[in-house]
Structure 1
């Protein structure tokens, strides 16, 4: 079953360069941005906060569903992947507008039970020029059964041309959550992770992993597009390998599993 809700949300933001510089610092990068400088790809994630009062939040810390995202009766949310197209550079310190719509909703039944797939489409403009189109694929599911088996992730490729290790600590996860105003409890509440959502430890943000791949890919040439899919969670304390080869990028866990796969467009 597929529905196409008609919600249309518009937000504006001044794109304060201090926020972009804070993320660069948190990631240990040397660049600093001033007003008018182009933002790195995906840095629009730091802007257009949707701040809601406590009574408007769900149990997981996200804004309660039922507005832009319909209530499918499924409590667990995961950002499964997305597709980005960079049409023109977004510039720091210049007002921008973001338009968000719920583009598609699909309900299915998988081996683990009912699933809900939601696609959000965000368009970001500056001065009337379309700069970024960002599609987000979200998955909603039931709470895990106490004796439920976790799906076996695919094995990651080992033929990369360029590789870089990345490790994550609680401070980095906190800073990224704060800069993106992401209250999802799977990224900081260890008890909630274990007792409610079935993760062994706090989960590294999927968008943070995608961000690291994009920044690494941009060392070669400016990106015009980036499509990514998460295939296994990365949790606090893990060290993973960021990999590039040609137009492909991926993240490999220390155990060899594929955590994320991506395609690059230059």
Structure 2
């Protein structure tokens, strides 16, 4: 365990409704965007609480370099967002200041199937007017460069399923999401870097963008959610169609057309029950 466990960082943000409008449009959502005084949609807090850094404080990948700030340097240069667990206690109100406190709950290096892996878990608590609004645990994984890793086949989706959404991601959508979340990771907008340095076949779709689309698809079918978790299983690049499929009352997966499993998602809502006909596969 790293001695950074317990380290905290706090930001205050005014929750500008203009950013919510921009995300609403970038995601292609129907209807009018949320405005001043409206509740923030679930998981949209990622476009707030920015932590901008000077160019000198950034790593080669475009993220803030680990070590000096909140995230410890585990000696592994490649970062990915592996998953998260969220509880939505009450929706923050747009246009009113809120506070996010981030705490390191875990920081360690282990040996995985592909080589060394560094695990960092952050807990984010979002408060507004003295009320706890959102609790999020964010799981980050750090890895060696691709030429130092072992290759393992990607997992395959193998479940009866009900198609909830087919989604395509293009470079413009990735750019807009990166801008709104102040995510400088070059795998999302620099194709040469993604391919030549991190070993991907093209621009990589953000893990939280995949999760956000899955959450919205679930809300469209099931209504508001009280909790949500997701686990990334393999990356997907732009222009590759993604299928979000319900596999039960509370579970969803994201997969490619050839069955490669991209993400597992799970939802919770108090007192729900929705019968799903999973007899016809997507």
In which range does the TM-score fall when normalised by the shorter chain? over 0.9
Compute the displacement of 1:9 (Å).
Answer: 0.7
Question: Structure 1 CA distance, aligned partners of 2:137 and 2:224?
Answer: 19
SS where residue 197 of structure 1 aligns?
coil
Range with greater deviation from structure 2 (4-13 or 220-229): 4-13
In the alignment, which residue of structure 1 is the partner of 2:277? none
Contact 1:74–1:142 at 8 Å: present in 2 too?
yes
SS where residue 99 of structure 2 aligns?
strand
Question: Structure 1 CA distance, aligned partners of 2:151 and 2:211?
Answer: 23
Question: Structure 2 CA distance, aligned partners of 1:158 and 1:240?
Answer: 16
21 and 157 in structure 1: CA distance in 2 versus 1, 3 angstrom threshold:
farther
Contact 2:164–2:217 at 8 Å: present in 1 too?
no
In the alignment, which residue of structure 2 is the partner of 1:117? 119
**2:212 pairs with 1:211:** yes
**2:180 pairs with 1:179:** yes
In the alignment, which residue of structure 2 is the partner of 1:5? 5
**2:202 pairs with 1:201:** yes
In the alignment, which residue of structure 1 is the partner of 2:132? 130
* Equivalent in 244, 251, 263 of residue 260 of structure 1: 263
Contact 1:45–1:180 at 8 Å: present in 2 too?
yes
Question: Structure 1 CA distance, aligned partners of 2:197 and 2:208?
Answer: 22
SS where residue 10 of structure 2 aligns?
strand
TM-score (norm 1): 0.96
SS where residue 118 of structure 1 aligns?
strand
RMSD across aligned positions (CA): 1.4
Contact 2:20–2:35 at 8 Å: present in 1 too?
no
In the alignment, which residue of structure 2 is the partner of 1:251? 254
Q: CA offsets, 1:87-146, max 9 Å, x none?
A: 111111111000011111121012322110000111001101000011110000100118
Question: Structure 1 CA distance, aligned partners of 2:266 and 2:88?
Answer: 14
Following TM superposition, the consecutive aligned residue runs of length 4 or more in structure 1 with deviations greater than 6 angstroms are: none
Range with greater deviation from structure 2 (210-219 or 26-35): 26-35
SS where residue 139 of structure 2 aligns?
strand
Contact 2:114–2:151 at 8 Å: present in 1 too?
no
Range with greater deviation from structure 2 (57-66 or 241-250): 241-250
- Unaligned runs of 5+ residues in structure 1 are none
In the alignment, which residue of structure 2 is the partner of 1:48? 49
